[in-house]
Amino acid sequence: MGVHGPTVAQSRPIVPSAVLGMAMFIATETMFFAGLVSAFLVLRAQSPDWPPIDQPRLPVGVTGLNTLFLLASGLTIQRAAAALRRGEKTVARWLRITLGLGVLFLGIQGSEWVRLVRYGLTTWSSLYGATFYTLVGAHGLHVLAAVIALGVALRRAVTGPVPAAAAAWLTPFRMYWFFVVAVWPILYVLVYLS
């Protein structure tokens, strides 16, 4: 106790609110995908033939290549964060590459979906089709949301210096992107390979 009486330590959050909020959001998203995967596994175990004989086979090779694109986008957003930390001017470039890889992933997924629908695999054709579009579609929507968010953020950053604009949102956004990237290989193995 000094002359000015008892001092009160100024509280400083150990984790930024945006990061904690994103962590909580990812926790709910984890439960969401866990529920979908569980339902998929139970339905698949119950079915005598999986995939059903009269249903088209999924494009394993192209989607495998697409998986690599999405994994690469995880690396590029990590490079963007590293560039931001070091104060380099390559942040925007790495973020644009990440955006491009996300768009590429969605484009390939979309084209494969169109082909599958033409071959007769729809949500109402079988339980197989319904679970496929629910699982892969839910993930695709998450990637689409991330791509839109990144596109909007980059568009806004055009008017000012990217590092200054990116500093606030890049960490929580990177968490979300990593989540989307990490979920996909699990879905790929479960839905396409097993």
Partner 1 sequence: MREPITIHARALHRFISSARLIGATTLATAALTLLASPAARACSSCFSLTDRGREAYYASTVFLGLLPFLILGGVIFWLRWAAKHAAESPEGAPARPRADTAEQSAPS
8 A C-beta contact, residue 181 and residue 71: yes
Cβ nearer to partner 1, comparing 9 with 53: 9
Tell whether residue 9 is a contact of partner 1 (CB under 8 A): yes
Told to check if 167 binds partner 1 by CB under 8 A, we report no
Name which of 43 and 72 has its Cβ closer to partner 1.
43
Residues 17-36, interacting with partner 1 (CB under 8 A): 23-24, 27, 30-31, 34-35
Quote the CA–CA distance of 57 and 73 in Å, as a whole number. Answer: 27
Least distance CB 12 / partner 1 (angstroms): 7
- Chain position carrying tokens 């990217």: 162
What are the two backbone dihedrals, phi and then psi, of residue 121, each rounded to the nearest 5 degrees?
-90, 105
Contact 51, 191 (CB under 8 A): no
Does position 111 interact with partner 1 (CB under 8 A)? The reply is no
**Looking at beta carbons only, is 42 or 68 nearer to partner 1?**
42
Of 37-45, 58-66, 75-83, 155-163, which part binds partner 1 (CB under 8 A)?
37-45
When asked if residue 38 is in the footprint of partner 1 (CB under 8 A), the reply is yes
Of 39-98, binders to partner 1 (CB under 8 A) are 39, 41-42, 44-46
* DSSP per-residue codes, 150-187: HHHHHHHHTTS-HHHHHHHHHHHHHHHHHHHHHHHHHH
60 close to 140: Cβ distance less than 8 angstroms: no
In the complex, what is the shortest distance from the CB of residue 119 to partner 1, in angstroms, rounded to a whole number?
27
Q: Can you tell me whether residue 10 is helix, strand or coil?
A: coil
Segment near partner 1 (CB under 8 A), from 1-9, 139-147, 153-161, 178-186? 1-9
Max CA separation in the chain (angstroms): 85
Residues binding partner 1: number (CB under 8 A):
25
173 and 151 Cβ atoms separated by less than 8 Å: no
Binding site for partner 1 (CB under 8 A): 3-10, 12, 14-15, 23-24, 27, 30-31, 34-35, 38-39, 41-42, 44-46
